[in-house]
Structure 1
Amino acid sequence: MKLTTEVALKKTSYPIDYDSKVVCLGSCFAEHISGKLEDFKFRVSCNPFGILFHPEAILNVVKKAVNGEDFTADDVFHFNEKWHSFFSHSRLSRNSSAEIIAALHSAKKELTESVENTSHVIITFGTSFIYRHIATGQGVANCHRRPQEQFEKQLTPLVELQELLRELISSFEKLQPGVKLIFTISPVRHIKDGIVENQRSKAHLIAALHSVLNEKSGMHTYFPSYELMMDELRDYRYYDRDLIHPSALAVDVIWEKFKLNFISEAVFEDMVKVEKLQKSLAHRSTETKGEAYDKLKAYQYKFKEELVKKYPFMRF
């Protein structure tokens, strides 16, 4: 008996392995995937500018990296006793103008160096609604709680999204010509926009992405995390208490689908070893000496030595 409508998935021709370097950018779901990769000791960098929901917000910071543009005093502002930037999430907000400009430069440096040395970039879009700052015309990464009347909320038209995506892909390819891009739509529904508006927003993203990816040679791919959540995991047990965000179980299920289709089977055995070692190291034994304690330490040392010898970049 089938209890779910399964989403068909196709294995990538360019899987991630332990030789890969991965960059994750975009919505909070990018951080879920990044966290899973980090747990298994893959080399990954995630969201130097903080969480970014809209393709234009991601493109704005990627263009800074591609063009080597510096951030200046014009890119920051003071509000509610903090300094902020429309280029970044509030995670980068600081107590002084100098501090936030330094934080923005550091984020740009991390993004540039990460992408220049990466093999894969995983990009998660959250919405095609953007808030545009009326005074400057900039599509902002975050409103930073400034008054609503200072912004115009816009649903980005399909044609504009396609152009943004083409420019985004081109920008990544300039920084790293051989990069493999994996696009996905966040399974988090933005219901503060309204249920109908959320569906319109996601539909624009999905249509634009598939249209642009169809123009490419197959180097860049799509992972259907939104579709998995909406169909295979449509039961409310897969949602968090707010009934919007995926639960930990849902993230685990989507991660498993990602793993089977985007990570090389050649490293599955080593991933199991990493997981076992991580669980062992996280275990807090009541004993600090004795035969059982010595056996545990010997077991941990053996696995650690074996993995670090094979993958010198791993740290436990």
Structure 2
Amino acid sequence: MNFQTSVGLPVGLPPISHISPILLMGSCFAENMGTFLTEAKFQLDLNPFGILYNPLSISSALKEIITKKEYTEKDLFAYRGLWHSTMHHGSFSAITPEATLQNINARLLQAHQTVPKLDWLMLTFGTAYVYEAKETGKVASNCHKLPENDFNRRLLSVDEIVDEYTSLITDMAACNATLKFLFTVSPIRHIRDGMHANQLSKSTLLLAVDRLQQSFPEQVFYFPSYEIVLDELRDYRFYADDMLHPSPLAVHYLWERFSETFFSAETKQVIREVEDIRRDLAHKPFHPGSEAYQRFLGQIVLKIERLIRKYPYLDFQKETELCHTRLNP
């Protein structure tokens, strides 16, 4: 007897491998998958503007990455002792404008340099609601706790999103003809205005992505993270304490379903070997100076060397340095 409604995974999608450069942008789901991909040694850049929630903010950030915008002090504002950018997450804010600009421009340049080499652009939409500054009319990616009266909040239309991304995809494809776009809709519910408003928002995002798939069938793909959480994991035991975010168990399940969809048998084997090394390094010995532990570390180094010989594009520099530090305290 089956007690679960299974969501059919898309088939025939182009595979993702360790030699596929990836840029992930968007909401918390992008962060979750990005963390798994990073730990598995994929080549990626994750949220160079920090977490972004709405499609227009993500699109604006991508345009700034492509054009290599350089932020100046006039792009910032001071509030509550910190300098902020409305385009960026609070993790970029700092006490001085110089420090904030250093944080922003260094990450933007890094992302710009990856664009020509990208194989996948993975975008996660969280909400179709946007905050527009009353003074400028610009969409704010992050309000940084400015007074709510400074903004107008509204729901984007499907046409707005489709028009914006039709232009963006066309422009990016002209620069990188092999670039593939993977869209997801975050399963995290935004209940500020109630469940009905959240459903309207998610429906808008889903309809927009579907339209984009129809317009770009060879370039645009969709992974059903939203449907998996709402249908396969509809029990509250798969949610965090706030009953809105997926629990760590649910996030891991999404990773498994993502792996089923995009990874070949060889890629999965590499992931297992990488995880084996990570697990060994996480081991905390009772006697770190013992001969047995030194041999254990030596075996880890040998595992890393064997894996790099087989897959030279894997980056184990940090792990190798950690082993040598522990071998020579």
TM-score when normalising by structure 1: 0.95
Q: Confirm or deny that 1:271 pairs with 2:260.
A: no
Structure 1 portions without partners, runs of 5+: none
**Counterpart in the other structure of 1:8:** 8
| Counterpart contact for 1:62–1:172, Cα < 8 Å | no
**Counterpart in the other structure of 1:244:** 244
Deviations 1:239-279 (Å, cap 9, x if unpaired)?
00110000000001010000011122222112111111110
| Counterpart contact for 1:36–1:255, Cα < 8 Å | yes
CA separation of 1:171/1:127 partners in 2, compared to 1, >3 Å: closer, same or farther? Answer: farther
For residues 7-156 of structure 1, the aligned pairs below 5 Å read 7-156=7-156
Which secondary structure state, in structure 2, belongs to the residue aligned with residue 178 of structure 1?
Answer: coil
Q: Post-superposition shift, 1:14?
A: 1.6
Letter in 2 for 1:114: T
Letter in 1 for 2:159: V
| Distance (Å, rounded) in 2 between the aligned partners of 1:174 and 1:89 | 29
Report the number of matched residues: 316
| Distance (Å, rounded) in 2 between the aligned partners of 1:95 and 1:37 | 32
Which secondary structure state, in structure 2, belongs to the residue aligned with residue 23 of structure 1?
Answer: strand
| Distance (Å, rounded) in 1 between the aligned partners of 2:120 and 2:253 | 22
Letter in 1 for 2:284: R
| Distance (Å, rounded) in 2 between the aligned partners of 1:168 and 1:202 | 21
| Counterpart contact for 1:26–1:124, Cα < 8 Å | yes
| Percent of pairs with identical residues | 33
Q: Post-superposition shift, 1:82?
A: 0.9
Structure 2 portions without partners, runs of 5+: 320-329
Letter in 2 for 1:109: L
| Distance (Å, rounded) in 2 between the aligned partners of 1:291 and 1:69 | 54
Q: Post-superposition shift, 1:288?
A: 3.2
| Distance (Å, rounded) in 1 between the aligned partners of 2:200 and 2:211 | 16
**Counterpart in the other structure of 2:189:** 189
Deviations 1:124-147 (Å, cap 9, x if unpaired)?
110000000010110110001111
| Counterpart contact for 1:12–1:221, Cα < 8 Å | no
Q: Post-superposition shift, 1:162?
A: 1.0
| Counterpart contact for 2:212–2:220, Cα < 8 Å | no
Q: Post-superposition shift, 1:149?
A: 0.5
| Distance (Å, rounded) in 2 between the aligned partners of 1:78 and 1:236 | 41
Greater CA deviation, 68-77 or 136-145?
68-77
Deviations 1:20-79 (Å, cap 9, x if unpaired)?
111110001101000001111111110111000011101111111223333233321111
Q: Post-superposition shift, 1:291?
A: 6.2
Deviations 1:137-163 (Å, cap 9, x if unpaired)?
101100011111110001001111111
Deviations 1:85-118 (Å, cap 9, x if unpaired)?
1111111112222332332222221221122222
| Distance (Å, rounded) in 1 between the aligned partners of 2:289 and 2:145 | 54
